[in-house]
Amino acid sequence: MNFSGLINDFGPLTVTGLAQGAIIALFALGYTLVYGVLRLINFAHSEVFLLGTYGCLIAWGWFGLDQNSKAPNFGAMLAYMALGLVVAIVASGLTALAVELVAYRPLRRRNAPPLAFLITAIGASLAISETVGVLTHRNQRGVPPIIQARTVITIGDTHITNLQILIVVLALVMMFVLDRFINGSRLGRGIRAVSQNPDSAALMGVNKSRVISLVFLLGGLMAGIAAVMYDLKIGVTKYDAGFLLGIDAFTAAVLGGIGNLRGALLGGLLLGVLQNYAAGLFGSQWLHAAAFVLLVLILLFRPTGLLGESLGRARA
Amino acid sequence: MAIIGLIAGAAACNKDTSSSSDTASGSNCGYKLAYFGALTGSAANLGVNIEQGFELAINQYNKTKGSDCITVAKFDSQGAAEVAPGVARNLVADKKILGVVGPPFSGESEAADPIFEAAGIPTITPSATRVSLSANGWKTFHRAVANDDAQGPAAAAYIKDTLKATKVFIADDQSAYGAGLADVVKSKLGSLVVSSDKTEGDGKQTDFSALVQKVTSSGATALFYGGYYTNAGVIRKQLTAAGWKGTLLGGDGMKDPGLSKASGVAAAVGTVVTCPCSPPEAAGGTFVNDYKAQWNVAAGTYSDVAFDAANIFLQGIDAGNTTPEKLNTYLSTVNYKGIANTYKFTSTGELDPTLIKVWAFKFDQSGDAKSDVEIKTS
């Protein structure tokens, strides 16, 4: 164990971990929202994210941008960011809606058992990711340098870049907006109602199908934003990018308390930071193992996650 | 029947070349040399480079000996270990085949070489570098390049003597190839290594921020990564984004334009990879132009070695070694100066240690690794 290494690099490991954790948190929201309403783990959410990572790359490609392009000036950067976000959000949002319409809704109509949902979820996930794999020849695709990483704040040995700040701030803002939407708007009230008791909600005049579509769409929007941030931070995407980060995101959702929005944020940030600490302390080969051991330990003492399972219940 | 066929073939060839003053050369015709390796499949490009070098040598030989003196036989293994044995059995059934150039890859070699060994057909591989291939006691196995053991010391020598780095960070992807290579480099560099780390394998990790942080804070000016181009491209990109300006180095697993496709060319420029191969453009004689004229593409990695391997066989056949057994015995004593190297085999079929060549290749603005210097290790 390398304690001195961890202590020396504590600041930088925390900062890079928070940035990674913020992406995981945005991604995790999709799992948590759908679970909160349907009690269903939407495994295809990883591909909702995946198509977002390709969506913005394709949009930037329209303007001739590839991994070898020069970083654009400030004005162009803002325009490209706006475009990338919009296209990624549309790509992810439409994918989420399509998955719900094709893979889940027909099963719900027939009152299929939960196992059937699980299998179609995994099936949809594999079908999309393998199709992307075949279409891209399973090659990596490099991301153009839309935002040139630049140190803007220095605290001791810790350099914080513009990109890291953007990722964390964007995640916090989106989380706040989503939280307000669920807890403060009329549509959000519908989501909470279906989450608490679908049948009563339907009797009270809530359109259940529309609420479910809305929940998938919201998860897709968050995944689209996460996808753009991922592209900019990691620098490449590949047909299995969603699967890899999806495991982290799902873990974060469980860690924070699945079905709980604030839990997803807490779980994501915690997981991102803990993975980096584990890498610093034991070496990067322990990155995943150490984080998951900790997950098991936390669940032993708090089986419903750190903040508990709730989408509607806690503040109903 | 086979013998009658051979005599008839030799006689037929004799007529064409009766004007030749050399007593032995004109008569040894009517045989086949085989290429065994990928011609289709995901790794086809690597195999085609080799096959074209091999075929060029035979075409040139036939120009002096008569147009059908030695016939080219091609066997497509698809580069796959599970396909190779069946194809190899087809090959050994053809009794006119005296020798095989290939198989190019280590996996298919392990699957097909026992069949060639049982049939007594000599093979020369121009590119399979797994060390253990020569440890099977095969009498017919010959390797015309250095094995993986040669790369580690060469990479260490490059870091010390050419790059003159004094602080080196070592990382690997925990694969048999990557970890093995990194361990050799680490032990050869000794006190120059400031720290080390490991990553997950290809495609199992995309966020390397912890590794990047360790490299940056270690003060290292060079990072040796034992692994493949997929991870290396992402690592290079994230290192550059974090402001690290040192040199990334690796073995032949990183010698692929895929590295710069992930990282972007600007970040990849200057990345150094070692390879137990000579740059094709450095081959002697008229090979580079001849190859281009025949195939309309530039010679690729190991094209030149395959050309030499075919010529080693042809020289042996020309000297009257017209059975696989005789040709194999001839290989044990051969000392052939080709266009890429001089070839002499040890008793296990390895290239003589004094003849091993390892080159450093450097990524440039084209996005591909171009020859830099030959590394002297001895």
- Chain A contacts of B223, Cβ < 8 Å? none
Per DSSP, the three-state class of B178 is: helix
B214–A280: do the CB atoms touch at under 8 Å? Answer: yes
CA distance B373 to B358: 9
Angle at A171 between CA A165 and CA A172, to 5 degrees: 90
A21 touches chain B (CB under 8 A): no
CA atoms of A96 and A214, how far apart (whole Å): 10
List chain A pLDDT tens, one digit each, 316 residues.
Answer: 788 888 888 999 999 999 999 999 999 999 999 999 988 999 999 999 999 999 999 999 999 999 999 989 999 999 999 999 999 999 999 999 999 999 999 999 999 998 999 999 999 999 999 999 999 888 889 999 999 888 999 998 889 999 999 999 999 999 999 999 999 999 999 999 999 898 999 999 999 999 999 999 999 999 999 999 999 999 999 999 999 899 999 999 999 999 899 999 999 999 999 999 999 999 888 888 887 888 899 889 998 899 887 655 544 3
Tokens of A187: 């549509």
| From-to residues of CATH 3.40.50.2300 in chain B | 2-147+281-345, 149-275+358-375
Give yes or no for B294 touching A (CB within 8 A). Answer: no
Spell out the alpha helix ranges (H) of chain A: 3-8, 10-38, 45-62, 74-99, 105-109, 114-135, 162-184, 186-196, 198-203, 208-234, 241-256, 261-282, 287-301
Chain B residue closest in CA terms to A8: B217
Residue A96: burial class (beta carbons within 10 Å; 0-12, 13-18, 19+): buried
A283 at interface of B, judged by CB pairs closer than 8 A: yes
Q: What is the ipTM of this complex?
A: 0.90
pTM above 0.95, yes or no: no
Q: How many residues does chain A have?
A: 316
Give the integer Cα–Cα distance in Å for B284 and B225. Answer: 32
Query: In this predicted model, what pLDDT tens digit does every residue of B16-72 receive, in sequence order?
Result: 433 333 433 457 899 999 999 999 876 777 889 999 999 999 999 999 998 889 999
B332 touches chain A (CB under 8 A): no
Residue pair B363/B353 in contact by the 8 Å Cβ criterion: no
- How far apart are alpha carbons B120 and B323 in whole angstroms? 10
Start-to-end Cα distance in chain B: 52
Contact between A53 and A241 under an 8 Å Cβ cutoff? The reply is yes
**Which domains, and CATH codes, for chain A?**
3-301 (1.10.3470)
Contacts of A93 (CB under 8 A, 6+ apart): A217, A220, A221, A224
Q: Compute the nearest-CA separation of A282 from chain B (Å).
A: 9
CATH of domain B2-147+281-345: 3.40.50.2300
The amino acid that residue A316 corresponds to is A
Chain B residues near residue A275 by CB distance under 8 angstroms: 210
Instruction: Give the single-character DSSP code of A72.
Output: P
CA–CA distance, A29 with A55 (Å, rounded to integer): 20
Interface of A with B in 35-74 (CB under 8 A): 67-68
A47 CB contacts (<8 Å, ≥6 apart)? A95, A99, A124, A125, A128, A129, A132, A242
Task: Pick from B196, B207, B216 the residue to mutate for testing the A interface (most A CBs within 10 Å).
Answer: B207
CA distance B205 to chain A (A): 8
Q: Which of A12, A141, A284 sits opposite B197 (nearest CB)?
A: A284
Is-cis flag, bond preceding B122, omega within 30? no
Residue B351 φ/ψ, nearest 5 degrees:
-65, 140
- B149-275+358-375 fold: Rossmann fold (3.40.50)
| Residues B254 and B178: beta-carbon distance below 8 Å | no
